[in-house]
Amino acid sequence: MAVQLLEVPGAVSKSLSGRLGAKLDSRAVQFFADYQQSHDNFLVDVDGNEFLDVYAQIASNAVGYNNPTVVKASTSNEMALALSNRPCLGVYPGAHLADNIDSIMRIAPRGHNMMFPAQSGSEANELAFKAAFFLYQLKKRGLGAEWTQDELESCLRNEEPGSPKLSILSFKDSFHGRGFGSLSTTRSKPIHKLDVPAFDWPMARFPALQYPLESNVDKNREEVESCLKEVDELMSTWRDPVAAIIVEPIQSEGGDNHAPASFFQGLQDLTRKHGALLIVDEVQTGFGATGSFWAHESWNLREPADLVTFGKKAQMAGYFFGDKTLKPDKAYRQFNTWMGDEARLIVCNAIIDEILEKDLVTKVSAVGNALYNALEKLAQSYPDRVRNLRGKGAGTYIAFDTDGAAALCNKMKLLGVNIGNCGKNTVRLRPMLIFEEKYIPRLIAALVNAFKLPDSVQPGFATF
């Protein structure tokens, strides 16, 4: 029986793309969505096509389209005041700000009792870098010591000692954002970095695990040890002191690369050895996607991570911390006009309410196991198309390698499933926390049909 294919993008999407493209670069647009008609796990486009969405707005939608709890918060009087007045939170906050921050702290990582809000994951990482640099210099200067006149004057010339030569260590295939500092720690996708000046900061290898894991225990242990040795050497010899290491629990844009807890425990040991901080970038992994609220909870670190950045599913961004010396020594050092935007804080708390009240993290863990088992069976039937399946025990944060991953994802849209790719040849699943087991057969059937479609049958999206 012939498979019925959707027209993607449809006529209305093409018309809107033409209009938009005259004023704004719209080459990355795949189709225009109808958010009024979209619901729970399904994204509907302006041409009436409905997609089972396992990509979730690049992993940023936590509780589904038009979620009643989020809609209620978004239409509240408190939201109207936040949107119509958009207060400068650092200087003129409204009376609700303390309550909203207290409410978000419900889900703070272990050992963290403070936070700083931001507006995007990139900004969260940039602010975390600043916090790390502040603390490094504070310790060097001495707690309580005042800034010197030379420091104050030289920083305005971008010169030492006021502008010290410090660095942040990141990993090959990492992604931490597109701001100047975060982009310097991003080591995947040249399209983001090309032509942009970068800081001279070190890059180490992230473990390249071999699969299946149970058949490669010794090789993977040796790989982890080798990577940690390289980090140690870089921190010991790099021309500028390393103030912090930033690492993703699972490298997402770089290909969904995993590492065992021993690697991250080793990184924490090395930061302690070299007087640096450990920044855990949970922008994509945080808020329940891996079957625990924070992915790094599974590492069993001896001490809490120094800073944990977040974004995406939170619908806001920022970083959590617990060491009070990470709070800047003077006001205005960590500051911007809106400091995350109170409207985003309100939505974030509604999302947290939904996650906690419906125990969605536990749900993700159970559904993730069923989803992984279904994909494992698919890999047995199509071993050339589903390779290096990974994410077992990591909720619905699952991926596999395949030739022509971008083309496969495009074919899936024609079959009514919105799915994403990353790295060079990786298909990644990023369903919302409300994804249900009953949708798994539909996803698997679409993959089987997509495998059978020729490459000539796919939309002409711009992919990189």
Q: Where are the domains of the chain?
A: 11-61+359-452, 75-357
Coil, strand or helix: which one is 321?
Answer: strand
Contact in structure between 298 and 288 (CB atoms under 8 Å)? no
How much is the pLDDT for 455? 85
Domains 11-61+359-452 and 75-357 share a fold: no
How much is the pLDDT for 1? 52
Per the DSSP assignment, residues forming a β-bridge with 170 are 203
How much is the pLDDT for 459? 83
How do the residues of the chain divide into helix, strand and coil, expressed in percent and rounded to 5?
40, 15, 45
What CATH code would you report for 11-61+359-452?
A: 3.90.1150.10
Please count the other Cβ atoms lying within 10 Å of the Cβ belonging to residue 333: 11
How much is the pLDDT for 41? 98
Q: In the chain, how long is the greatest CA-to-CA distance?
A: 79
How much is the pLDDT for 187? 97
Q: Known catalytic residues?
A: 175, 281, 312, 337
Residues 6+ apart with CB under 8 A from 162: 150, 151, 152, 153, 154, 155, 156
How much is the pLDDT for 256? 97
Alpha helices in 197-276 (DSSP H): 217-237, 261-274
How much is the pLDDT for 113? 98
Residue ranges of the chain with per-residue pLDDT less than 70: 1, 462-464
Instruction: Enter the tokens of residue 175.
Output: 């992604």
CATH class as words, domain 75-357: alpha beta
Contact in structure between 454 and 88 (CB atoms under 8 Å)? no
Coil, strand or helix: which one is 247?
Answer: strand
Residue 233 CA to residue 121 CA, distance in Å, equals 29
How much is the pLDDT for 278? 98
Coil, strand or helix: which one is 408?
Answer: helix
Taking the alpha carbons at both ends of the chain, their separation in whole angstroms is: 34
